[in-house]
Structure 1
């Protein structure tokens, strides 16, 4: 997506399993600079969290589709007590209601950020030197 941001980082704290059947499409899309969710291939129902069988029609075909990389803050918390060396503090965990899609995603913002419920955010992609890419969020100006 042309309006998304890539942030090259020296390393990602923990690397995702990109070859996982249920979530691999999410990370493959992130490598392309897209935020994607899984949808039923038969009826189009959003399958979030990803699942093998559509709860709406029972079909097992699914596909990953790009969704808008924008949303609004639903809730957040700032972590100030470091519990793992891969995650230096402070950082802000944010729950985002996606725009145009009935889904919420969890992500993070670096540092201790002043936020408000409903504040607009957009996806950014943290990319490690090996190409592994993870969606994260930033406050929209």
Structure 2
């Protein structure tokens, strides 16, 4: 397993996200009743309160909403500097994800980001740990 901090990929609330990532897809919970996206995962739709949620693929790209450069190291797995970005996912109203970019990334609110997927190995139970990895794309 990687020396990086790794999430628990079998938690009932979020395992669909990690299962999709293991297949090279970005997914969020989507309500089958109203079509609304619910991210971060919850057991009910945040738009209509239905419990009719399923994991559906969303585009692996978005635009920077906000960002900050971290200069003070708080954990040995995350050497500084690095940039934390808040990403508005394309074609997915209300869906925002947090991403990591190494160094002092040159970004602004016109910066397009694309996700590919990073394999961190397996956890102690043998589950694959694959995370979205964000990269700067072309700006418009």
Normalised-by-shorter TM-score class: 0.7 to 0.9
CA deviations 1:26-78 (Å, max 9, x no partner) are: 11111110010001133322112221122333321211001001111111111
Within the alignment, does 1:114 sit opposite 2:111 as a pair? no
Provide structure 2 residue ranges, at least 5 long, that are not aligned to the other structure.
123-127
Provide structure 1 residue ranges, at least 5 long, that are not aligned to the other structure.
1-9
CA deviations 1:82-114 (Å, max 9, x no partner) are: 111111111110011111011111110112111
Greater alpha carbon shift after TM alignment, 45-54 vs 63-72: 45-54
Within the alignment, does 1:123 sit opposite 2:120 as a pair? no
1:101 aligned counterpart, secondary structure: coil
Determine the structure 2 residue equivalent to 1:85.
76
The normalised TM-score by structure 2 is 0.86
Provide the C-alpha distance between the structure 2 equivalents of 1:138 and 1:24, rounded to a whole number of angstroms: 24
The normalised TM-score by structure 1 is 0.86
Cα gap change, 1:12/1:45 in structure 2, threshold over 3 Å: closer, same or farther? farther
2:48 aligned counterpart, secondary structure: coil
| Larger RCO, structures 1/2 (Cα 8 Å, 6+ apart) | 1
- C-alpha root-mean-square deviation of aligned residues, in Å? 1.5
Deviation (angstroms), 1:80:
1.5
Determine the structure 1 residue equivalent to 2:96.
104
Cα gap change, 1:80/1:55 in structure 2, threshold over 3 Å: closer, same or farther? closer
Provide the C-alpha distance between the structure 2 equivalents of 1:82 and 1:35, rounded to a whole number of angstroms: 29
